[in-house]
Amino acid sequence: MNNKLKELNLPNIFQNILNGNIPVELNTECQQPTTYEYLKKEYPEDCDIHKFLIPLWETNGDSITGYLENKKVFIKHYFEDPTDKYQVLGENYNEFICELFLGYIYAGWEDDELIEINKYVEFPYLDYFLDEINTNIELEGNEWDEFITKLKLNIRTKS
């Protein structure tokens, strides 16, 4: 196993993705980071994405998702963006997975699909997450945004 991944104490699925052993449930989002490895050679050596990123997966050859060691955050970086621009997905693993699952919810995924993926990512708060989402799914606009902010905070503090 990649020593950096081992130090982060992440589930085995991330090493499997890096090795190309990707479950069918994840293969539309998660691919080996081959484009990143190629483009990394072009990045300035002193940029965070070059020096400190522990790649987890690549998506469609246009973005990389990983852990930025120096900032201690999970991120997504689009290759077309400057190397200092990235989206923070979470300050810890559970917040990161919460953000990932919210993306799936927004894409219309059903509970059973998240339950299936959770077999791989081992999100310990999936039941709580789904209960909260299903209870508040009718909220809109600012109310939904406030709910999501509170949900992420609750998951961050549970970790």
Which tokens belong to 105? Answer: 């919810």
Model confidence pLDDT, tens digit, residues 67-100: 999 999 999 999 999 888 999 999 999 999 999 9
Q: Alpha carbon 70 to chain centroid distance? A: 17
Residue 43 has pLDDT above 90, yes or no: no
Rounded to whole angstroms, how far apart are CA atoms 65 and 62? 10
- The 3-state secondary structure of 88-149 reads EEECCHHHHHHHHHHHHHHCCCCHHHHHHHHHHHCCCCHHHHHHHHHHHCCCCHHHHHHHHH
pLDDT at 68: 95
Which range is least confidently modeled, 43-47, 54-58, 117-121, 151-155?
43-47
